[in-house]
Amino acid sequence: QVQLVESGGGLVQAGDSLRLSCAASGRTFSRYAMGWFRQAPGKEREFVAGISWTSGHTGYADSVKGRFTISRDNAKNTVSLQMNTLKPEDTAVYYCAASSLSYSHSATSYAYWGQGTQVTVSS
């Protein structure tokens, strides 16, 4: 069992940066692939970024590639999402998720989810 708690969301202006963090409980955190997803009002939840348990593989949605960076610290049981050059279309609730399978872009691969943190980008 893994429990996830996100933090770091907020209201920013276009072009600003934010860093989201996700704190995980459980001693086997290092064995989980981690992902960040987001859901905007009226839209489906979408993949943002993912990282393998060794940090050897990362992946990003095309819409955030070059602007967002995912990283993890297995010693601290945390995964982070550095978001730069934010755009109004990045506005959404951002969720951290953990998968005991290989890192994936599919939400169905992730068994554990945080409660989400709101990111709002004003134009």
- Predicted confidence at residue 49, as pLDDT, reads 97
Question: 113: which strand partners?
Answer: 97
Torsion of CA 110, 116, 122, 123, to 10 degrees: 0
pLDDT at 55 over 80: no
User: Could you give the CA distance from residue 15 to residue 101 in angstroms, rounded to a whole number?
Assistant: 35
- Predicted confidence at residue 51, as pLDDT, reads 95
pLDDT at 1 over 90: no
